[in-house]
Chains A and B, each alone.
Chain A
């Protein structure tokens, strides 16, 4: 509603946004799908930050989670399978004023978009990337995804998936210039909210892997994990994801982890015995691509014409 600006003047805003201002079409995800809770958390974070809906762009690829932009009342870009990250980077290239969010899935990001995933982390464009990882292709009806556990029976591997599941955390952490890596499970709304809030506040590419249930195709994959809190390893630190007593009571396994400690983050990510929840890595000072891509904005037509003429003159005879 109002707030103090950096120069201590009172900023009276004429608009106050409620959750409804961020609500688009009625979600068509299945009943019990983890995506619903994430959408709610995103809307809450937007309201909390009082983001102008017209300045938000929700970008996505193809898949169940990539329908999210349709359920937000903001600008959206529901593009192509695997390509959400380069579209989002381009959207942000010359528009530092826009708030760019990406919704993608395990197939979209880790498989068909694998190349873009790695390079987007390195560019470190200022955007919030939410990977909805349900360990299965849902929209195309139950095919093996890179994070499907071995032996999972799917329509493409009816006798069970051959390979060990990909570990997206170690890959993400391994990319040079990665700046924000968090993981959360969809069934703890408070943690989801706090994680997304922290991710959004970071300037750079915030990568959040959300372990998300798909009750229709792979109910068993997350059943044990979601019913047995001891399988979760809660990461705690003053610079990490804020928790509260209620959350800490649920999860008996806790670890104090400083998110600036990359080696510690890698060790946590490599240990597949438990599911880490929290902020694994955070480097607020990693170079941000926007600082290059925004250069030259706002140049006047006169200066541009002078620039063109200078270029032409260098070829004059």
Chain B
């Protein structure tokens, strides 16, 4: 069958007469130049769908520049919404339907494997009549190319339709598109109108009215002109229990509020900063203070200083910021200062790809400090976990008198999803600092030999006076000039990690607990990996998944879990050599980061598959990779 014929077929099949076609799920994208409101359109669509009880995963498509050139591949800005009958855990594979406000931005998505043959594209057609011949030519060329690629193109007069209602279509086309999408997917229009009113509440009726009109016009346009009409019924109608919708960075911010931490020190860096933006807005509601420091080092130092003299503080950053904070974190480990560090990972090395996802900072989190500097490393897998892990991290930091690093990534940072509303508890909040008299006989580091844990004197406690020092020190925090003090200090700090491990549970296995391949994953890839595993299992493959939340120390019984599978492999978003690359053999192959530490820890031949292609993993891509390994196994 030719591409053209495939397109024809799917076109015919999806024409509906009046009654919407019921579907299980769809992936929708809205793409435009930045500033055209595609994100607001998509987020509103997501919220309406969430309120209807549908599964939703929304992910922003963000250009690297603030004002990228118009009509350019690099300038693609927008949003992807995966809308499902059931709960949705990831962004899925290729899109089913795309609305594009110009044709050039679609090339960005094509490059990101966002489309397949048969993906429907609703394309703004004003470029066909642009006064500039070059634009007309580019447009015609691209449309022909898209058709050749098997995309189903519908050229729509979006601009013209909007101009019937507003003078500046650029400032309202998004609501017209929202109307179209709400018709196509049978969304609750009243909810949508309410959301629009809410979004423009501050600007008043004069702004709400034309946006409502645009929405209604878009809706009617779709009724009159588009053959696509679907129904994605929610598993259960409406919101069943208290639910909130946020992205991962906001969830981090909410977690900070709920943890009772009251000092955040930060320096602007993408993609972490929006978490700090959020806290800058609301931190006063829980009595907190956000310090914007002069650099990343100072931000970490300010947080460590604040922790030293009071409650555990937090600093939020991304890869290059982590690199700068290294020496401060080393001091926090050495001096046992509780601290929460959030690293919203982005593409590396160096400045890398600031707005793109990667899981490339695991090894540097573990090993970048001079000497032996063990600390707790956690990785939330969902947006909800971004919230809860901050609360847990604060408690661990204080209980074990240590820094805790939380590794999230750009996918969690900008992904938006409904999740159970946390019910904040008083015991989540940090206790007031102890200012009672300290027993003079108890040294500043009264290490428990079994656990390495020691109580912490806080300035203001009479009798607890000590001088914290980054030099090797005795348990009284005196500069050590002898040979054993350093050994003892290292023993104790390392022992704490074993003590943390003793409190952790065995992770759950997704799938059978024995089989051919066990996929080990961490961080934001959870939803995509589980979905891939489900698909492979449905096809009869003996594949399971275990997803790690603690990367240092590890959760319990991993070796026992691993030993039940013929092959164990990690799937990650960081660099590794594939075995068939030139010059790669057993002694030259470099493994993905989790694989590297698992191989080291468990002395097992753990394989890996990983890519660094600036995009979240798609379930289909994971299936292909794992099935490739499976083929070689049998």
Chain A residues with a Cβ under 8 A of chain B:
24-25, 52-55, 57-59, 69-70, 72-80, 83, 86-95, 97-98, 115-116, 118-119, 292-299, 301, 303-312, 315-317
Chain B residues positioned under 8 Å from A91 (CB to CB): 305-306, 308-309, 459
- Tell me if B461 counts as interface (CB < 8 A to partner A): yes
Are A86 and B293 neighbours in the complex by a CB distance under 8 Å?
A: yes
Q: Once the chains are docked, how many angstroms separate the CA of A317 from the CA of B43?
A: 13
**Contact A296 B287, beta carbon cutoff 8 Å:** yes
B300 to nearest A CB, angstroms?
Answer: 8
Which of B416-424, B488-496, B579-587 faces chain A?
B416-424
Cβ < 8 Å to A, chain B residues 300-357: 301-311, 313, 327-328, 331
Kindly state the separation between the CA atoms of A305 and B421 in the bound complex, as whole angstroms.
Answer: 14
Given A75-B466, A75-B467, A115-B295, A87 contacting B246 (CB threshold 8 A): no
Which of the residues A69, A86, A309, A311 comes within 8 Å of B467, measured between beta carbons? A69
Q: Provided the pairs A57-B309, A93-B289, A304-B287 are in contact, do residues A75 and B459 lie with their beta carbons within 8 angstroms?
A: yes
Check A94 against B306 for contact (C-beta < 8 Å): yes
- Which residue from A73, A95, A297, A307 sits with its C-beta under 8 Å from B459? A95
| Any A CB within 8 A of the CB of B429 | yes
Quick check: A90 and B306 within 8 Å, CB to CB? yes
Distance from A133 Cβ to chain B, minimum over Cβ atoms (Å): 22
CA of A186 to CA of B265 in the docked complex: distance in angstroms? 36
* B328 / chain A contacts, CB cutoff of 8 Å: 80, 83
Cβ 8 A contact of A317, one of B47, B285, B306, B462: B47
Q: Is the CB of B289 within 8 A of A317?
A: no
- State whether the Cβ of B523 lies closer than 8 Å to any Cβ in chain A: no
Which partner residue on chain B sits nearest A300 by CB separation?
A: B287
Chain B contacts of A115 at CB under 8 A?
Answer: 294-295, 298
Residues of chain B from 268 to 316 with CB closer than 8 A to chain A in the complex: 282-289, 291, 293-295, 297-299, 301-311, 313
User: In the complex the two chains form, is B257's CB within 8 Å of A308's CB?
Assistant: yes
A78-B471, A301-B429, A316-B243 known; A54 vs B282 contact (CB < 8 Å) = no
Measured between C-beta atoms, what is the minimum distance from A315 to chain B in Å? 4
A308→B258 contact, CB < 8 A: yes
In the bound complex, CA of A79 to CA of B299 (Å): 14
Is B465 interfacial (CB-CB < 8 Å)?
yes
Interface presence of B42 (CB below 8 A) = no
Interface centre among B285, B302, B421, B457 (most CB of A within 10 A): B302
Once the chains are docked, how many angstroms separate the CA of A312 from the CA of B418? 12
Within 8 Å of chain A (Cβ to Cβ): is B204? no
A94 contacts B289, C-beta separation under 8 Å: yes
**A306–chain B nearest beta-carbon distance, Å:** 8
- The residue in B246, B283, B304 that gathers the most chain A C-beta atoms within 10 A of its C-beta is B304
Tally inter-chain residue pairs, CB-CB below 8 A. Answer: 198
Given contacts A86-B297, A94-B309, contact A70 B285 (CB under 8 A): no
A93 to B459, CA, bound (A): 13
Closest Cβ of chain A to B553, distance in Å, is: 26
The answer to the question of B535 belonging to the interface, with a C-beta cut-off of 8 Å to chain A, is: no
Q: How far is the CB of A28 from chain B (nearest CB, A)?
A: 9
Q: How near does chain B come to A115, taking the closest CB pair, in angstroms?
A: 6
Chain B CB count within 10 A is highest, among A92, A93, A115, for A93
Interface CB pairs A-B, < 8 A, 29: A24-B467, A54-B463, A70-B467, A74-B465, A75-B465, A76-B467, A78-B469, A78-B470, A79-B470, A80-B301, A86-B293, A86-B298, A89-B291, A89-B305, A90-B306, A91-B306, A91-B459, A94-B263, A94-B306, A95-B309, A295-B289, A299-B286, A301-B429, A304-B286, A304-B429, A305-B424, A306-B285, A311-B285, A315-B245
Check: B51 CB closer than 8 A to any chain A CB.
yes
Residue B242 CB within 8 A of the other chain: yes
Answer whether A80 and B327 are a contact pair too, CB < 8 Å, given A55-B460, A116-B298, A317-B239. yes
A88 to B426 alpha-carbon distance, docked (Å): 30
Distance in Å from the Cβ of B313 to the closest Cβ of chain A?
A: 7
A294 CA / B310 CA spacing, docked (Å): 13
Complex Cα–Cα for A308 and B428 (A): 11
Q: Which 10 A-B pairs have the closest CB atoms?
A: A90-B305, A76-B467, A296-B287, A307-B285, A299-B287, A90-B302, A86-B301, A119-B294, A86-B298, A315-B244
Residues of B within 8 A of A89 (CB): 291, 302, 305
| Contact status of A312 and B298, CB under 8 A, knowing A299-B287, A304-B260 | no
- Docked CA distance A89–B295 (Å): 14
Inter-chain contacts of B471 with A (CB < 8 A): 78
* B301 / chain A contacts, CB cutoff of 8 Å: 79-80, 83, 86-87, 90, 116
| A interface footprint on B30-69 (CB within 8 Å = 1, 0 otherwise) | 0000000000000000010011000000000000000000
- Chain B 395-419 residues near chain A, CB threshold 8 A: 418
Q: Give Cα A280 to B463, complex, Å.
A: 39
Contact (A77, B310) CB under 8 Å given A87-B301, A297-B287, A311-B254: no
Q: Which residues of B contact A83 (CB under 8 A)?
A: 297-298, 301, 327-328
Whole-angstrom CA separation of A115 from B50 in the bound complex: 47
Q: Within the complex, what minimum Cβ distance (angstroms) separates B284 from chain A?
A: 6
Distance A89 CA – B289 CA, assembled complex (angstroms): 13
Task: Decide: B468 and A307 in contact? CB cutoff 8 A.
Answer: no
Nearest chain B CB to A256's CB is how many angstroms away? 37
- The residues of A that contact B308 with a CB separation of less than 8 Å are 77, 87, 90-91
Closest to A95 in B: B309
Q: Report Cα–Cα, A69/B459, bound state, in Å.
A: 14
Query: B59-89 interface mask toward A, CB cutoff 8 Å, 1 = contact, 0 = none?
Result: 0000000000000000000000000000000
- Residues on the A chain within 8 Å of B179, using CB: none
For chain B, residues 219 to 263, give those with C-beta under 8 angstroms from any C-beta of chain A.
239, 242-246, 250, 254, 257-258, 260, 262-263
Bound: A97/B460 CA distance, A: 8
Partner of B309, one of A70, A98, A118, A305: A98
Are B285 and A310 closer than 8 Å at their CB atoms? yes
Q: Are A93 and B429 in contact (CB under 8 A)?
A: no
Residue B360 is within 8 A (CB to CB) of chain A in the complex: no
* Residue picked from B459, B461, B471, most chain A C-beta under 10 Å: B459
Find chain A residues with CB under 8 A from B297 CB.
83, 86
Which residues on A sit within 8 Å (CB–CB) of B302? 86-87, 89-90, 93
**Chain A proximity of B123: nearest CB distance (Å):** 31
B464 in the interface (beta carbon within 8 A): yes
Which one of B250, B305, B461 lies within 8 Å of A87 (CB-CB)? B305
B242 nearest CB neighbor, chain A only: A316
> Smallest Cβ distance from B611 to chain A, in angstroms?
33
Contacts of B258 in A (CB 8 A): 308
Decide if B479 touches A70 in the complex (CB within 8 Å). yes
| Nearest CB of chain B from residue A292's CB, rounded to whole Å | 7
Judge whether B629 is part of the interface by a CB distance below 8 angstroms: no
In Å, the complex CA distance between A154 and B181 comes to 74
Please tell me if the beta carbons of B305 and A77 are within 8 angstroms of each other in the complex. Answer: yes
Cβ contact within 8 Å between B263 and A90:
yes
For residue B303, which residue of chain A has the nearest CB? A90
Contact B469 A70 (CB under 8 A): yes
Instruction: Please name the residue on chain A nearest to B47 by beta carbon.
Output: A317
Give chain B nearest CB distance to A105 CB in angstroms. 16
Whether the Cβ atoms of B426 and A317 lie closer than 8 Å is no
A-side contacts of B478, CB under 8 Å? 25, 70
- Of A24, A292, A301, which one neighbours B289 at CB under 8 angstroms? A292
B466 to chain A, nearest CB (A): 7
> A residues within 8 A CB of B244?
312, 315-317
Specify which of B245, B289, B471 lies most central, judged by the most chain A CB atoms within 10 Å of its CB: B289
- Assembled-state Cα–Cα distance A43/B463 (Å): 18
Judging by beta carbons under 8 Å apart, are A308 and B242 in contact? no
Q: Chain B residues near A292 (CB, 8 Å)? A: 289
* Contacting pair B460 A94 (CB below 8 A): no
